[in-house]
Amino acid sequence: MKKSAVFLDRDGVLNEDTGYVFDPRKLKWIEGAQEAVKTINEAGYFAFVVTNQSGVARGLFDEDDVQALHAWMADELAKFGARIDDFEYCPDHPEAVVERYRRTNIRRKPGPGMINDLVARHNVGVGGSILIGDKETDVEAARAAGIKGYLFPGGNLLTFVRSILAENPGSFRNRQG
């Protein structure tokens, strides 16, 4: 059985985009973010994070830092009774300072690779799935993966998620297939 998903960009959607966030002490949640994730969970959807992390390619931090931040975020969300079912990130950038990350990669948004990998790994039904991002490249990645993309304009994420649920009562229900 397939289950629909909500794919969330990280910086600018779940947390404030203050530039290359990797230290939990410097992460500031977007208003309503934890509650929005819990609402997505309670509605029966997978909740996934898909995030470009070019700070790794730029030598500002390493992949262990990204993974540690995601583990910390998961722990913080659990305090609200919320969960991210899986985190995907792409450390690559075509102009990377760190040689091993200097490449073009379909996993880097606007490419659909991170979304497609999660769809395959978790048996996601794309028909009822969406992506919420804060940049046009997020929406392009969603479109390339065959799902609907929404631009989060800022403000309260819970309010935004609720408006999407209300806007798409037929198509956003957790559907099979």
Give the three-state DSSP class for 117: helix
Give the N- to C-terminal CA distance of the chain in Å, as an integer. 7
Is 11 considered catalytic here?
A: yes
> CA torsion sign, 104 to 109 to 110 to 112?
positive
Q: What is the CA radius of gyration of the chain?
A: 15
Nearest to 60, CA basis, from 87, 102, 25, 91: 91
The residue annotated as part of the active site, out of 11, 65, 85, 138, is: 11
Taking the C-alpha atoms of residue 176 and residue 158, their distance in angstroms, rounded to an integer, is 25
State the Cα torsion 162-33-91-138 to the nearest 10°. 20
Taking the C-alpha atoms of residue 132 and residue 146, their distance in angstroms, rounded to an integer, is 14
Q: Which tokens hold the place of 73?
A: 């975020």
Amino acid at 30: I
Residues that are catalytic: 9, 11
